[in-house]
Structure 1
Amino acid sequence: MARLGDISFLNCAPLRWGLADSGAGAELDVRSGPPEWLADELLAGRLDISPVSLARYLGQADELVLLPGPAIGSDGPVRSCHLVSRGPLEELDGRVVALSEVSRTTALLARLLLEDLVGVRPVYRRAPQNVGEMLGSAQAAVVIGDDALRLRTRTPEGLRVFDTGELWRSWTGLPMVFAVWAVRRDYALAHPDRVRAVRDALTDAVRRARAAPAAVAASAALESARGPGGALPEEVLLDYFRVLDYSLGDRQLASIREFARRTEARGEVPPGVRPLPPTTFVDTPVTASPSVPGGRQ
């Protein structure tokens, strides 16, 4: 039985619903947690396949193989990955920007946007994700996940919310990929059939969720009610799941290449991470060499 990671945010609620609807979830050992914890568990060998942040995947591409099929992104606004500021982004030069400790891709994306698009050089500080505390000592903050979704829904007076997915799309013309599913390279070599089965189960889960948006939103609303921020309205979740993009096609791969190029130029990811081809490793032989898709040259 494959040990499968599951991001405990609402962005994976449609996949949880789809896996339950198909019954495939019962055939998997599913373990939930925040993205950084999942990446640590995957790299430590305690998970076999898991969603991980794009930045974490790029940084560990010699140990991980990209799972084709699912991803988490948006082709425009994403609703749950934000730069939150007390004023215009152009006023952040030299000011403190708090970066959520649970975010890696959005924190790196925010730095790209601020420095290369807006043209400011803030001072960055990592901090636990608590918006009130973050903004108590900073002019702006990077916030992700359910907290960001709630913040967009109920924005406190005096704050501005800048959607990083929307900013990336307007800047590059590309969708933004925030997380991908990755497989430990040794596991992919040893169990290709299991990897194919998980790929197919996740792809089917997305299809089922897309075909039943009202049921998914109702289930996610109940899930959100168990969180510290209280229940989110079903109409908010319907809109959220409508804009989330779970595909990993040619445009998403082009975006990953562009993000890797920009971050490598800044020394944020290791050099030599190859651009990903549009083919899928599960349908072609996997070798032990790190020259397979996603590996380093």
Structure 2
Amino acid sequence: MNPRARLGDISFLNCAPIRWGLADSGAVHDVDMVSAPPEQLSALLLSGDLDISPISVVRYLRHAEELCLLPGIAIGSDGPVGSCHIVSRDPLEALDGRVVALSAASRSTTLLARMLLEDAVGVRPEYRTLRQDVDTMLRTARAAVVIGDDALRVRAAAPAGLTVHDTGAMWRSWTGLPMVFAVWAVRRDFARERPETVREVGAALVDAVARARAHPARVAAAAARGGRARALGEPVLLDYFRTLDYSLGERQLAAVQEFSARAAARGETVSPLPARIPVHGG
């Protein structure tokens, strides 16, 4: 008997609907789930300690030869995302030569923020990568790039003197495309050895999204009972979960291609993705 697939789970609120859906269907009992921040999950997947996992789009682009995508599922937005921000004491146009703190917890959003600041806004800040803590970051910087639950809390109640710039909204305004922050990927060796398992896990994840979409109030209520999310309250979480886009259709794949081309032009990846992105079963 094959062992159960080892499945990554981002330990932020952006994956709370998927966790809820997997529990609702019972599929959570068919996998060994590992919850961790996105950078840790990416490292575990690439080291072979996970079989399937959400992974930042930047990490995927840098290791596309080792991975293929699960069809139909990602984490993104078609406009504001709510949890990936540039928070600034100054107008973005005034950040030329100023210090911008980048979150050590992020690859995709920090690269996206640099693209937006340098290529869309037209400034050249000085960057420092720091542990994500908004107050600490802004002690030595005029702006900070923050992601996840911390960013969601800043959005819900921005501290005095700070302006919150949603990177999903900025990317949409700049390119006309949705933004894909993370994708679900499977190691190619695992996909070759256990294709049916990969199909089953992929189907369970897509089903989990559909279940969560059908019961948004229940998902928000469940999330609001957990840890620091309690302070946000159900209305904020309900709005956030409705904002997130978990699809990976033609527009999202076009957005990944666009991001890939811009990243490659900056030397952040070796080369742009091929015209046909490797998708499991595709």
TM tier, shorter chain?
over 0.9
Read off the aligned partner of 1:259 and give its amino acid letter: F
The one of 160, 164, 169 equivalent to 1:166 is 169
- 2:205 corresponds in structure 1 to 202
Spell out, residue by residue over 1:59-101, the C-alpha distance to the aligned partner (whole angstroms, 9 max, x if none): 1111111111210000000000000000110000000000000
Spell out, residue by residue over 1:76-128, the C-alpha distance to the aligned partner (whole angstroms, 9 max, x if none): 00000000000110000000000000010000000000000000000011000
Runs of 4+ in 1 over 6 A off after TM superposition: none
**Deviation for aligned residue 1:274:** 1.6
Query: What CA distance in whole angstroms lies between the structure 1 residues aligned with 2:245 and 2:270?
Result: 27
Query: What CA distance in whole angstroms lies between the structure 2 residues aligned with 1:34 and 1:64?
Result: 19
Counting only pairs closer than 5 Å after superposition, residues 27-42 of structure 1 correspond to structure 2 as 27-42=30-45
Spell out, residue by residue over 1:237-271, the C-alpha distance to the aligned partner (whole angstroms, 9 max, x if none): 11001110000000000000000001100001112
Matched, 1:107 2:106: no
**Deviation for aligned residue 1:199:** 0.5
State the secondary structure of the residue aligned to 1:72.
strand
The one of 175, 178, 181 equivalent to 1:178 is 181
- 2:79 corresponds in structure 1 to 76
- 1:16 corresponds in structure 2 to 19
- 2:243 corresponds in structure 1 to 243
- 1:290 corresponds in structure 2 to none
State the secondary structure of the residue aligned to 1:203.
helix
Query: What CA distance in whole angstroms lies between the structure 2 residues aligned with 1:171 and 1:271?
Result: 22
Structure 1 gaps, min length 5: 285-297
- 1:144 corresponds in structure 2 to 147
State the secondary structure of the residue aligned to 1:245.
coil
State the secondary structure of the residue aligned to 2:184.
strand
State the secondary structure of the residue aligned to 1:142.
strand
Matched, 1:281 2:276: no
Q: Percent identity?
A: 65
The one of 56, 61, 74 equivalent to 1:53 is 56
Query: What CA distance in whole angstroms lies between the structure 1 residues aligned with 2:52 and 2:222?
Result: 25
Read off the aligned partner of 2:248 and give its amino acid letter: L
- Report the aligned-residue RMSD: 1.1
**Deviation for aligned residue 1:188:** 0.6
Query: What CA distance in whole angstroms lies between the structure 1 residues aligned with 2:94 and 2:274?
Result: 36
Matched, 1:95 2:94: no
Query: What CA distance in whole angstroms lies between the structure 2 residues aligned with 1:48 and 1:108?
Result: 26
Counting only pairs closer than 5 Å after superposition, residues 213-292 of structure 1 correspond to structure 2 as 213-223=216-226, 226-227=227-228, 231-277=231-277, 280-282=279-281, 284=282
Query: What CA distance in whole angstroms lies between the structure 2 residues aligned with 1:272 and 1:35?
Result: 22
State the secondary structure of the residue aligned to 2:231.
coil
Query: What CA distance in whole angstroms lies between the structure 2 residues aligned with 1:67 and 1:131?
Result: 34
Structure 2 gaps, min length 5: none
Query: What CA distance in whole angstroms lies between the structure 2 residues aligned with 1:179 and 1:281?
Result: 16
Q: Please report the TM-score for the alignment, with normalisation by the length of structure 2.
A: 0.97
- 1:85 corresponds in structure 2 to 88
